Amino acid sequence: MSTSSLEDTMAAIGYAKVIVALKPVAAAAAVTTRAAEGAIENHFIIPSDNLASSLAMSARASASRKFKRTESLASRRVRVYQNLGLAIGYTDVSGLAALEADPQVEKVIKAPELSLIRPVGAQDAKLAASTSWGIQRLNVEPLWNAGYTGKGIIVGHLDTGVDGTHPALQGAIGSFAEFDLAGDQVPNAKATDSGEHGTHTAGTIAGRAGSKGAFGVAPEAKLASAMVIEGGQVIDRILAGMDWIIGEGARIMSMSLGLRGYTPAFQTVIDALRAANVLPVIAVGNEGAMTSRSPGNYSNVLSVGALDANDTIPFFSGSQKFVRPNDPLAPDVVAPGVGILSCVPGGTYKTMDGTSMATPHVAGLAALLLQAKPTATATQLEQAILGSCTRPAGVSEDRGNRGVPDAVKAYTLLTGTMLPAAAAAAVAPRSPRAVGKSAREKMPVRGSANRTKKAAARKRVAASKGKASGKRGGSKKKKA
């Protein structure tokens, strides 16, 4: 028997994740789980390439941990839990009809969409060793505490590649592509980095907290990462990578590369990304004042320059004024780009300076905001980030333009609501001198002990009671 919710989902998107209750006889009769799966497998589908790779990846991870399977795991469309007498998988309209007619099946119900449960309060957290100054400076932790960690969001990442084996990136690589000299995708490419730049920028977007603390702005986001720089034919590869991330479902593109000076060559492809509702977040370059790189200097990208921990613009950060009616200044915003710790290939870590390091901070922030409002357009995300900025005292408009984004303000601008008080109260000090000294901010991690969770929640509530109606998140101003 199907529920109306299941039918609604089928009608809306053509498929649904279902739980199938098997008749006790059928569940018991199968000799092995695989036999049970094989008996009903044809009624199930893998609805997208993304999901296929995701299932294959998780299956491979499971196989390496426990099962040592050797068969093709990508084709496993249904999982049977014999002891429970249940099967779970995706099915479409015809598959549903077949399931309902199958004599082994007792009933079919829609699987709960756990990812759609929106957090509304302060979340439990696990202590990280420390939180990077960049994350503190962008005021990201209150969003984490409210449950916005980038979960369910795919960020496109075009760079030198990414080391998918790095501990800080476990679970962070949703998909990976490598392009050959002709711009064609290399089949079955493994997530590797041709340098170290890509792993570092990937870690800033979506690195998972570990021994070096928390440095990934969206620590539960996934990357669609393309290796587009490895010498030779780089333009072909970059264009192919941009095309690829749209197909991967990315709504944000982080790209810390560009050509010195101004060339209109990339304008058409940037326009195409915007038309596909993808927000291009691009570095302005490291050649200092009066310089910039393309396409990071286009008016319709979110262009990012660097900021240091003293709230000044480092000498290298690019900035340039153009004679154009819209958005004459590049960069649009500045973000932490000096002394940025992140992961590099080989399981190690490095600090680096550059607008390449600032850019993924903003892309990560966009991922948190998109999780908070999945229906937001790229333009709405961009406007929320731009509207949240404050230019530090002493930073000229020419160098810093709008200034530094604030995650909480951007959230309010985007959603029209305030963060839950308990989440907003758990904030890090944000004055430049204090940033970096607060080493105990919290990052949501599943499975932390209940006792720790309750204690942390009590602390936050107590803190919120002790605070005046904070200035942070206090503005209800909406950007036009």
Partner 1 sequence: MTDNIKASPEWQSEAVVKRLRKSTAPGQPASVQVFLNDDVSASDLPAKAQQIIDDASASLNLTPDAVKIGKVHRLAKSFSVSSDDADFFDAIAKRDDVKSILESTQPDILPKPLNVREEP
The contact set with partner 1 (CB under 8 A) reads 160, 182-184, 195, 197, 200, 212, 229, 231-236, 238-240, 242-243, 246, 256-269, 271-272, 274, 283, 285-287, 293-294, 298-300, 316, 322-324, 326, 338-339, 341, 348-357
Nearer to partner 1, 246 or 378 (CB): 246
Q: What is the CA radius of gyration of the chain?
A: 23
Q: At closest approach, how far in Å is the CB of 287 from partner 1?
A: 8
Tokens 């440095």 belong to residue: 215
Tokens of 434: 């204090």
- d(Cα 207, Cα 219) in Å, to the nearest integer? 5
Nearer to partner 1, 33 or 277 (CB): 277
Q: At closest approach, how far in Å is the CB of 294 from partner 1?
A: 8
Cis status, amide bond into 360, omega within 30 of 0:
no
Q: At closest approach, how far in Å is the CB of 160 from partner 1?
A: 7
Tokens 């309209």 belong to residue: 93
Beta-carbon-side half-sphere exposure of residue 338 (alpha carbons within 13 Å): 16
What are the catalytic residues? 159, 197, 356
Identity of the residue numbered 69: R
DSSP H or E run through 226 = strand 222-227
How remote is the C-alpha of 272 from its chain's centroid?
21
Q: At closest approach, how far in Å is the CB of 451 from partner 1?
A: 32
Tokens of 131: 């939180």
- d(Cα 123, Cα 142) in Å, to the nearest integer? 10
Nearer to partner 1, 286 or 388 (CB): 286
Find all residues with CB under 8 Å of 276, minimum gap 6, and list them. Answer: 246
- d(Cα 343, Cα 215) in Å, to the nearest integer? 9
Q: 107 burial class (0-12, 13-18, 19+ CB within 10 angstroms)?
A: middle
Nearer to partner 1, 26 or 245 (CB): 245
CB 363 within 8 A of CB 281: yes
- d(Cα 143, Cα 443) in Å, to the nearest integer? 10
68 φ/ψ angles, rounded to the nearest 5 degrees: 55, 40
Q: At closest approach, how far in Å is the CB of 228 from partner 1?
A: 9
Q: Which one, of 281, 413, 280, lies nearest residue 358 by Cα?
A: 281
Q: At closest approach, how far in Å is the CB of 341 from partner 1?
A: 6
Nearer to partner 1, 197 or 402 (CB): 197
Nearer to partner 1, 91 or 160 (CB): 160
- d(Cα 346, Cα 329) in Å, to the nearest integer? 39
Q: At closest approach, how far in Å is the CB of 375 from partner 1?
A: 24
Nearer to partner 1, 154 or 229 (CB): 229
- d(Cα 37, Cα 179) in Å, to the nearest integer? 36
Q: At closest approach, how far in Å is the CB of 295 from partner 1?
A: 10
Largest Cα span, the chain:
76
- d(Cα 294, Cα 264) in Å, to the nearest integer? 8
Mark out the alpha helices in 388-480 (DSSP H runs): 397-400, 407-415, 421-425, 450-466
CB 399 within 8 A of CB 391: no
Nearer to partner 1, 124 or 230 (CB): 230
